[in-house]
Amino acid sequence: MKLKKFFFIALASITLQFCPISFLAFLTSSPAIADSIAPGQKTEADKLMEQGKELYDSGQRTEALKKWELALGLYRQIGDIQGVAVAFGNMGHSYRELGNYAKAIDAYNSSLAMFERIAESGWETNANGSVYYKTTITGQENLIVASNGSGLTIKIASTPNGQSIAVSNIGGGSSRQNLSVGIVSNSSAQADILANLGIVYGKLGNTRAAIDSFSRSLSIAKNSNNPIDVANILGYTSIVYNNLGDYQEVIKLQDRQLDIVKGKNNRRGEAEVLVGKGDTYTKLGDYQKAIEDYQQSSRIYEQLKDDAGKAETLGKLGRAYHLLGKISQARDYYHQQLNIAQEIKRPRLLANALGGNGDISFSSGEYQTAFNYYSQQLEIAKVINEVKEITNSLINLGKVSHKMKKTEEAIEYYQTALNYLQNREYPYEEATALSNLGKALLAQGNLLEAEASLRDAIGIWEDFRKLLGSKDNWKISLFEKQVDTYNVLQEVLVDQNKPFEALEIAERGRTRALIELLLKGLSPAQQESAIADYSKLSEIKQIAAQQKATLVEYSLISENLLYIWVIQPTGKMEFRSVDIPQNASISELVTASRQFISARSRNDNNPTSDATTEPSHRLQQLHQLLIEPIAELLPSDEQERVVFIPHHELFLVPFAALQDTNYNYLIEKH
């Protein structure tokens, strides 16, 4: 972690600096072992380790790995357990950077096993690595001096708190300015390795193993009383829970993290946590809250003159404004991000910026331009071997291909994305890919596969909602982003001549968030039971019979398609599909009708106002779309009850005031 310098990584949340360990200032396990190690082999191994570090720092990961493998062999020959432990750790880091995660896990586990052996033996080791605090040591007692035969003198001193201090004087010089000091702690080494293991498991999509590794690392860091390390591990853990879709837990972890970094006046850490919180609020649909966090973060990066951090935040702001529908502002932020990413040559930032610009082009109907951006994004994502970035690129390419009427290509992109996600736990991306695949399969006419894909997507979306616990406003926001999946499944079922199964899906999608609100006083098990039973056809029929009312339920599938179900008290059910004309926007008709009614109410004493004025034509258009297709199914007795169950914009329809072609209000008939 940032103070441990064990390995180097750059990841979201707090950016941690883990550097490969330098053996120029690394302690032997004990004076006894120092005396028993052959000086020549020890010197050669240490030299190889330092050469590996220099190669690694210059970006030559493979060459660094070769040096550390040679050093490992020498440490094994001379029985230097600590050297073996650190060599394995550095090798694990190189493997991870090279994308060979299986070997990285093996190397980290081997390193961890070595440090555990050292801990069991009762020896203390130095896990601080190559970066030490320069200081002047005075008044130390009980110094133990050991020589490694290379001109490096190592001293271990007892301190009042019982820890050890390692003092190295490189080259045997006497200048106090050359002294390097570091706290010796075997537990710190274990915490570092566990954190690195968690990162690798996370990259592989093995989130449960990642959480376990971070949990163990966090426990050690807490016992070491190092709040910055605790904050770092909280950040890593929040990333894993984010991938699982457990946003309630993510917010808790990020709040704890933010408190720590603010308390330590860690401005960079504060900026990075704010970015993470903004990401979480974006996924929850709370875009204004996200923008506030991103803007705070951007100001901090500006003060720190951190171009990479600023570029990342600009992209986040672009996405938030895009989701708010503010295309011009979003485009400006994405262009700024792309310019900086190209200038500083950061591939991850460049991939993100290309994806953002693709999103803006897609929303603007510039599909070929969007396709070009997404294709470049995919190329870079593959180079850096980021599963999440790759799958998002593929999903984007599928989305734009579908819009360009290239259905076969769209299906192929979605299926490739799902193949990447196989055996990995990225539920948000998986649900999105499944939902989009279902839509493409519907366009292709492959209804059975479309249904299966959409049902799988809905299952994942609903698992998300369970994870949000009592955060009901977040549940509704998240549902609004997922409603398209429910609508497309209804369309698939209707096309299979299963209109009443479609009604169950309409109920399941429409009522879930609202029912959770009504039942929040119940236990989770009682809530799930009530929700599961609510959307059954038998329940709907029972309500109609008990209320002695005709139920009329609407589902606005798209701007051009409306479904209507009529459930009579006898249990008889009917279905109608209504094509909405291109020139008849439901939302515009509803707005105009409400304005007309409002104007009428303000002019009740105006004798010139009557039901035949031109604005009332909007009420007739709504009547034509919503009532005429089912008019013959409604009760002829005006005393019999009719209950309308709207959907989306239809909740604002003044049903009682709708007029037929003879200017008769609906309330006059029912």
**Where do runs of H (alpha helix) occur along 552-637?**
586-602, 617-626
Q: 88-97, 142-151, 476-485 — which is least confidently predicted?
A: 142-151
Q: 35-39, 171-175, 479-483, 484-488 — which is least confidently predicted?
A: 171-175
State the pairing for strand pair 573-579/641-645. unpaired
φ and ψ at residue 548, rounded to 5 degrees: 50, 50
Where does residue 553 fall: left (phi above 0), alpha (psi -120 to 50 degrees), or beta otherwise? beta
Pairwise pLDDT comparison (337 vs 462), residue with the higher score? 337
Whole-angstrom Cα Rg for the chain: 32
Domain residue ranges in the chain: 23-128+189-301, 133-183, 386-535, 543-668
H or E element, residue 141: strand 141-147
The CATH class that applies to domain 386-535 reads: mainly alpha
Do the domains spanning 23-128+189-301 and 386-535 agree at the CATH topology level?
Answer: yes
pLDDT tens, position by position, 109-133? 999 988 888 877 655 444 333 222 2
- Three-class DSSP category at 213: helix
Cα separation, 519 vs 314, whole angstroms:
40
Distances (CA, A) of 217 to 1, 80, 258, 458: 11, 25, 19, 35
Pairwise pLDDT comparison (403 vs 539), residue with the higher score? 403
Q: 148-157, 200-209, 356-365 — which is least confidently predicted?
A: 148-157
Q: 56-70, 187-201, 394-408 — which is least confidently predicted?
A: 187-201
Q: What is the pLDDT of residue 20?
A: 42
- Of the candidates 388, 347, 394, which has an alpha carbon nearest to the alpha carbon of residue 374? 394
- pLDDT confidence of 146, banded at 50, 70, 90? very low
Over residues 27-42, mean pLDDT: 53
**Spacing of C-alpha 631 from chain mean position:** 48
Cα separation, 312 vs 297, whole angstroms:
10
Residue 33 has pLDDT above 50, yes or no: no
Residue 145 has pLDDT above 70, yes or no: no
H or E element, residue 645: strand 641-645
Q: What is the pLDDT of residue 386?
A: 84
Residue 162 has pLDDT above 50, yes or no: no
φ and ψ at residue 610, rounded to 5 degrees: -145, 170
Beta bridge partners, 579, equal 561
Q: What is the pLDDT of residue 288?
A: 94
Q: What does pLDDT average to over the chain?
A: 79
Q: What is the number of residues in the chain?
A: 670
Contact 163, 81 (CB under 8 A): no
Residue 527 has pLDDT above 80, yes or no: no
Over residues 353-364, mean pLDDT: 95
Q: What is the pLDDT of residue 278?
A: 95
**Spacing of C-alpha 396 from chain mean position:** 16
- Of the candidates 343, 338, 341, which has an alpha carbon nearest to the alpha carbon of residue 358? 338
Q: What is the pLDDT of residue 582?
A: 82
Cα separation, 176 vs 179, whole angstroms:
6
Q: 140-144, 255-259, 437-441, 459-463 — which is least confidently predicted?
A: 140-144
Q: What is the pLDDT of residue 568?
A: 94
- Of the candidates 295, 353, 288, 366, which has an alpha carbon nearest to the alpha carbon of residue 326? 288
Over residues 156-182, mean pLDDT: 31
Cα separation, 200 vs 274, whole angstroms:
24
Kindly give, in sequence order, each residue whose CB lies less than 8 Å from that of residue 1, ignoring residues fewer than 6 positions away.
16, 17, 18, 191, 192, 195, 221, 228, 229, 232, 233
Right CATH number for 23-128+189-301 from 2.40.160.40, 3.40.50.800, 1.25.40.10, 3.40.1000.10? 1.25.40.10
